[in-house]
């Protein structure tokens, strides 16, 4: 018995003292909201991955603090007058973190890899603006036909299907980052699944990755702009619990994280930790325009006009979100006038309960002819539920109709909505790139959730895509958005923001409206630190 106890205590000591952590005092530590599935920029789709990828990789362009694409791996480019051919000139002397040069050939290889049908990247459609890329993905053209060609080590020529005025924005997007060809060919699935042997091109390089626990990156001395990088260390502890992430920051084990629990907002504001970044996204309800009773535009409008947003924002949604009266969120430039696209377009939907009741009557529904059963579908979540209940009450009060609300587990919900097996459902959309098109082409898609197929709308989107004239393009887009509301396909509720928590001494980072934090120029202001 004594021997056993001795053995046990030895074991315990051994277990306890295995693997001690090292803390760097000059480290910025940002708690990630999940374990990245891997760090292959061509393959990953979630923000948690692209956020780390942004620190360790670089595209031909990189967004600056005003979210304008600036030369990065490319030092300059020429655009043909028809807007369809881009010639990129790579910066001389750019290298991977292992010292091998980054060439135009790497970029050609990397882009073709994203649309390679055998690689099957979920990001493939982001490159379909490149000539023949979609055909290659659908096995209707060869890789050689794809419109991207390395002319020499430092020159890359890209042929686009249609003039895509936001193309330089796309080249800053993660699936356009070059990947190290030799490494990827040697280990196609696993090259970016561990820190060991991984090669980087960005301001930082990865040194350790303790899965589901922490990723550690350090300054990459071979980065072309290493002179602008101040931090030596950057840590990404990982926790998928909102409460734990906040606890880590409050107990000084970390100093930044995203999306604190809404209930803590006031307390964090008082402590000066609560911050809000702009975020291009919308939270809305979508009608299935082919399901009764919402196949009648008057019923859709009645439901939309009966919604009142101010109380909803103040008491339920919070997080300083802005009530939405149209589809495209503020923060996108109308390139024709230089003003904000949203300001230019104005509000496209009103709040008018009286008119809502009248429309419902016109559609033939009243006390004698009650509306058929209507069900609102959302995915299980406290906030979604609170919003749904608030709207249910508004429709009861303003229209006198009883709406059922039903929740489903996330993936069940997404599958149901994608199959069009619903009447009215919750939805949200986050911008892929900084242009109104990323919102407006959603409803031109053959298989959009609303089951909405309006040839006039689709024609406008197609014309906008084919246009190289910003004035005309913006006019088409405004017109398309107006049609979307004439047809009342959605009930926009609010535009998203990105609440986050950061110690005030962390400075120099930039939060882009695509949900990414760039730590390239981040630093710790010692004078503000206690």
Chain residues that interact with another protein, rule: CB under 8 A: 8, 11-12, 15-17, 19-21, 35, 37-38, 40, 43, 45, 117-118, 120-122, 124-125, 137-138, 189-194, 210-214, 237-241, 243-244, 247-248, 250-251, 253, 409-412, 414-416, 418, 427-430, 445-447, 449
Which tokens go with 248?
A: 């880590």
| 465 Cβ contact list (under 8 Å, min separation 6) | 162, 164, 437, 441
Question: How many CB atoms are closer than 10 A to CB 171?
Answer: 23
The secondary element (H helix, E strand) that includes residue 415 is helix 410-418
The secondary element (H helix, E strand) that includes residue 5 is helix 2-16
Q: Could you tell me which of 331, 326, 283 has the C-alpha nearest to residue 434? A: 331
C-alpha span between 216 and 518 (Å, rounded) = 16
Smaller CB separation from another protein, 143 or 430: 430
CB of 176 to another protein, least distance (A): 17
Smaller CB separation from another protein, 49 or 481: 49
Smaller CB separation from another protein, 347 or 410: 410
CB of 91 to another protein, least distance (A): 30
Smaller CB separation from another protein, 98 or 250: 250
Residue 315, SS3 per DSSP: helix
Smaller CB separation from another protein, 235 or 334: 235
C-alpha span between 506 and 28 (Å, rounded) = 7
Contact (CB, 8 A) for 413 and 379: yes
Smaller CB separation from another protein, 43 or 299: 43
CB of 189 to another protein, least distance (A): 6
Smaller CB separation from another protein, 237 or 345: 237
Smaller CB separation from another protein, 199 or 371: 199
Q: Could you tell me which of 80, 79, 82 has the C-alpha nearest to residue 69? A: 79
Smaller CB separation from another protein, 75 or 250: 250
Q: Secondary structure of 72-117 in the HEC alphabet?
A: CCEEEEEECCCCCEEEEEECCCCECCCCCECCHHHHHHHHHHHCCC
C-alpha span between 21 and 26 (Å, rounded) = 15
Contact (CB, 8 A) for 498 and 279: yes
CB of 32 to another protein, least distance (A): 10
CB of 78 to another protein, least distance (A): 31
Smaller CB separation from another protein, 45 or 142: 45
Smaller CB separation from another protein, 36 or 293: 36
CB of 499 to another protein, least distance (A): 19
CB of 218 to another protein, least distance (A): 17
| Sign of the torsion formed by the C-alpha atoms of 292, 296, 302 and 305 | positive
CB of 4 to another protein, least distance (A): 11
Smaller CB separation from another protein, 194 or 344: 194
DSSP string, 342-362: HHHH-------HHHHHHHHHH
Smaller CB separation from another protein, 34 or 393: 34
Burial class (CB in 10 A: 0-12, 13-18, 19+), 177: buried
Helical ranges in 200-319 per DSSP H: 242-250, 265-271, 297-305, 310-311
CB of 51 to another protein, least distance (A): 17
CB of 294 to another protein, least distance (A): 20
Strands 510-511 and 517-518: antiparallel
Helix and strand tally (H, E) in the chain?
17, 21
Burial class (CB in 10 A: 0-12, 13-18, 19+), 215: buried
CB of 177 to another protein, least distance (A): 17
CB of 412 to another protein, least distance (A): 5
The secondary element (H helix, E strand) that includes residue 13 is helix 2-16
Which tokens go with 98?
A: 């292992």
C-alpha span between 302 and 352 (Å, rounded) = 9
Smaller CB separation from another protein, 237 or 278: 237
Which tokens go with 394?
A: 């508004």
C-alpha span between 403 and 376 (Å, rounded) = 7
CB of 15 to another protein, least distance (A): 5
CB of 418 to another protein, least distance (A): 5
């Amino acid at each position: 018995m004594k021997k056993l106890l001795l053995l046990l205590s030895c074991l315990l000591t051994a277990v306890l003292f295995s693997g001690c952590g090292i803390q760097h005092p000059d480290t910025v530590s940002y708690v990630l909201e999940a374990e990245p599935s891997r760090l292959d920029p061509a393959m990953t789709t979630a923000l948690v991955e692209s956020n780390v990828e942004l620190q360790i990789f670089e595209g031909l362009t990189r967004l600056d603090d005003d979210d304008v694409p600036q030369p990065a791996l490319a030092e300059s480019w020429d655009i043909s007058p028809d807007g369809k051919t881009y010639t990129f000139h790579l910066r001389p002397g750019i290298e991977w973190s292992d010292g091998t040069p980054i060439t135009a050939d790497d970029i050609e290889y990397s882009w073709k890899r994203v649309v390679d049908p055998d690689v099957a990247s979920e990001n493939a459609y982001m490159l379909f603006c490149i000539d023949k890329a979609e055909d290659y993905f659908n096995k209707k053209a060869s890789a050689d036909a794809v419109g991207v060609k390395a002319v020499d080590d430092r020159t890359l020529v890209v042929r686009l299907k249609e003039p895509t005025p936001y193309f330089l924005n796309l080249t800053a997007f993660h699936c356009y980052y070059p990947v190290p060809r030799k490494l990827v060919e040697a280990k196609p699935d696993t090259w970016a699944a561990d820190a060991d042997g991984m090669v980087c091109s960005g301001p930082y390089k990865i040194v350790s990755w303790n899965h589901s626990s922490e990723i550690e990156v350090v300054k990459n001395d071979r980065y072309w702009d290493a002179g602008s990088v101040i931090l030596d260390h950057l840590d990404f502890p990982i926790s998928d619990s909102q409460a734990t992430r906040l606890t880590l920051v409050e107990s000084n084990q970390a100093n930044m994280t995203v999306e604190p629990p809404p209930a803590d907002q006031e307390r964090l504001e008082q402590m000066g930790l609560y911050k809000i970044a702009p975020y291009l996204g919308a939270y809305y309800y979508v009608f299935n325009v082919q399901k009764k009773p919402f196949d009648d535009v008057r019923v859709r409008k009645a439901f939309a006009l009966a919604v009142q947003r101010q109380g909803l924002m103040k008491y339920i949604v919070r997080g300083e979100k802005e009530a939405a009266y149209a589809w495209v969120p503020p923060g996108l430039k109308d390139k024709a006038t230089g003003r904000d696209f949203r300001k230019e377009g104005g509000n496209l939907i009103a709040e008018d309960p009286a008119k809502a009741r009248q429309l419902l009557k016109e559609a033939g529904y009243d006390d004698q002819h009650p509306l058929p059963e209507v069900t609102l579908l959302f995915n299980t979540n406290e906030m979604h539920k609170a919003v749904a209940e608030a709207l249910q009450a508004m429709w009861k009060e303003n229209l006198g109709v009883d709406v059922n609300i039903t929740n489903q587990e996330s993936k069940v919900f997404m599958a149901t909505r994608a199959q069009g097996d619903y009447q009215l459902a919750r939805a949200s959309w986050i911008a892929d790139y900084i242009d109104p098109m990323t919102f407006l082409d959603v409803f031109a898609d053959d298989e959009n959730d609303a089951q909405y197929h309006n040839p006039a709308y689709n024609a406008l989107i197609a014309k906008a895509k084919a246009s190289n004239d910003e004035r005309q393009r913006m006019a088409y887009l405004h017109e398309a958005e107006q049609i979307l509301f004439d047809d009342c396909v959605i009930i926009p509720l609010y535009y998203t923001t990105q609440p986050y928590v950061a110690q005030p001494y962390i400075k120099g980072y930039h939060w882009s409206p695509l949900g990414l934090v760039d730590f390239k120029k981040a630093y710790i202001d010692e004078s503000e630190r206690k």
